[in-house]
Amino acid sequence: MRVFLRRTAALLVSAVIASFVVFAFLSVLPGDPAEVVLGTNAGTQELAALRHSFGTDRPLVVQYADWAQGLLHGDFGVSYISHDAIGPRIGDRLGVTCWLALGGMAVAVLFALPAGVLAAAWHRRPAGAVLSAVSQAGIAVPAFLAGILLVYVFAVRAGALPAGGYTPLAEDPAAWARHLVLPCLSLGLVQGAVLTRYVRSAVLTVLHQDFLRTARARGRRQWPALWRHGLPNAAVPVLTVLGLQLSTVLVGAVVVERVFVIPGLGDLLLQSVADRDLLVVQGVVIVLVVAVLVVNVVTDLLYHLLDPRLRSR
C-alpha cells in the first residue's frame, strides 16, 4: 500500500509537470489560430474578436489555469477549426488506438516469449543462432516499413486482408478483426523482435544460476526445471521491458494509423497539426503522456508483486 501511494503521488506530480510542459511548448510555437481560421487577409478587428472568442488574448498563466481546470473535469475545450468539443473526439479515437496497441502487444508477446526462451535454451545450437539473427534483423525494421511490406504481401498480392480502413467492433466484429490484423502485425512483429532479445538475455542469465543447476542435479529435466524455476525469475526484468514497450507501442501507433488509414489518436494528432488546431494537439498529447505514466506505474506495481525481495525492503 505504501508503494501504491508513493507511485500514485509521483504519477500526479508527473502529470501536472507534463501538462505544464505540453502547454508551454505549444504556446511558444509560431502561428495564430485566429489567422489560420480567418486567413491572412482578415482585418485587425476581426482577428481581435476571434482571439477574444478563443481566449488566446489572455495571459498564458490564465489560459493554462483554465485548460488545466477543464482537464480535471474531462473538458478538453472546443476545437478552433471545427468548433466541436474535443473530449468526445479524443474518447472515440482513444478506443481505436487502445485496440491497436493491445493487439500489437499481444502479437509481440506471443512471438517473443517462445522465440526468446528457445533462443536461450538452444544458444549453442544452429537453431538458436537463427532465432537470434531473425530477431536482430527485426529490430532494424521500422513499424511503418513493416506495415507497407505486409500490405504488399497480404493485401495487394494475396488479397487476403484489407489494406486499410477501420470497422467499429459493434458494427461487424469479423470485419473489425480483419482490419486490425495487418496493423497489429506491423506493430507487434517489430516490438516482438526487440522483446525476444530481452527474453533471451533474461533466460540465459537464469540458466547459469545455482538454483537451476540444483534443480537439474535433483533429477528434473531441462524444460520442467526451466518452466518451474527459471521462467518466474526471468519474468521480473522482462516485465519492465514490457511496460516500456507498451508505451512505445502507444506512440508508434501514431505512424501505423496513418499508414493503414485508421481513425485513432495518431490520425487525429497529425490532422490537427496540419490544421494548426493546437488545442486538439494539446489534448491528444496530454492523453498520450498520461497513458504512458499510468503504464509505468502499473508496471512498477507489478514488479513489486512479482519480486518478493522488493516487498521486504
Check which CATH number belongs to the domain holding 158 and give it.
Answer: 1.10.3720.10
Structurally, how many domains does the chain consist of?
2
119 shares its domain with 47: no
pLDDT digits (tens, 9 = 90+) for 197-234: 888 888 888 777 777 777 777 777 777 777 776 777 77
Q: Where does the pLDDT of residue 253 fall: very low under 50, low under 70, confident under 90, or very high at 90 and above?
A: confident
- Number of H-type helices and E-type strands within the chain: 14, 0
If one counts every other C-beta atom within 10 angstroms of the C-beta of residue 73, the result is 8
Evaluate whether 139 touches 197 at the Cβ level (below 8 Å).
yes
Domain that holds residue 31: 2-86
Evaluate whether 68 touches 62 at the Cβ level (below 8 Å).
no
198 shares its domain with 82: no
Encoded amino acid at 84, one letter: D
Which distant-in-sequence residues (6+ apart) come within 8 Å of 265 by Cβ?
90, 93, 94, 96, 97, 253, 254, 257, 284, 287, 288
Backbone φ and ψ of 47, nearest 5°: -65, -40
128 shares its domain with 210: yes
97 shares its domain with 56: no
Whole-angstrom Cα distance, residue 70 to residue 89?
A: 16
Q: Which three cell numbers stand for residue 67?
A: 485548460
Rounded percentage of the chain residues whose pLDDT exceeds 90: 4
Evaluate whether 194 touches 201 at the Cβ level (below 8 Å).
no
End of a domain among 69, 86, 103? 86
pTM attached to this predicted model? 0.81
151 shares its domain with 292: yes
193 shares its domain with 97: yes
137 shares its domain with 55: no
Helix (H) or strand (E) holding 14: helix 2-27
Evaluate whether 26 touches 281 at the Cβ level (below 8 Å).
yes
Q: Which three cell numbers stand for residue 46?
A: 476581426
pLDDT digits (tens, 9 = 90+) for 255-309: 888 888 888 888 888 888 888 888 888 899 999 888 888 888 888 887 777 766 6
